[in-house]
Amino acid sequence: MFGAAAAALHGLRPEIWRLVWVAFVAADVLSFFGGMMRLGDDVLQLSPYEHVGRVPGGEADVVGLVVLMAVVFTGVGVLGFSRRDLQTP
């Protein structure tokens, strides 16, 4: 999902695609340390990892949603990249 978001940002505005790293680190911090920091469920739900489920041992909840978001972000990236004014030899 983060790779697709990076592709979308790179296609739309290539200079800001690195902002995906901020979202990636924030999601990791929420997932790994959110419980230790005793953050509320509303805050923990901001991480996309909270919606997938605990695998192995549990069911994956929203795999289809994650795949759909990845496809949409990739499509936006391809569309934005194709609209850029690039000169090819």
**How far is 56 from 17, CA to CA, in rounded Å?**
32
pLDDT for residue 58: 63
Residue 68 lies in a domain: yes
Residue 22 lies in a domain: yes
Tokens 């990236």, residue located: 77
Q: Check pLDDT > 70 for residue 68.
A: yes
- Note the helical H segments in 1-89: 2-12, 20-33, 41-44, 63-83
Q: How many domains does the chain have?
A: 1
53 backbone φψ class: left, alpha, beta (φ>0; ψ -120 to 50) = left
Residue 88 lies in a domain: no
Residue 89 lies in a domain: no
Residue 60 lies in a domain: yes
Q: Check pLDDT > 70 for residue 35.
A: yes
Tokens 């949603």, residue located: 65
Q: Check pLDDT > 80 for residue 62.
A: no
Residue 38 lies in a domain: yes
> In Å, how far are 12, 19, 25 from 31, measured between CA atoms?
29, 19, 10
Residue 11 lies in a domain: yes
Domain assignment of residue 52, given as a range: 2-83
Residue 78 lies in a domain: yes
The percent of residues above 90 in pLDDT, for the chain, comes to: 0
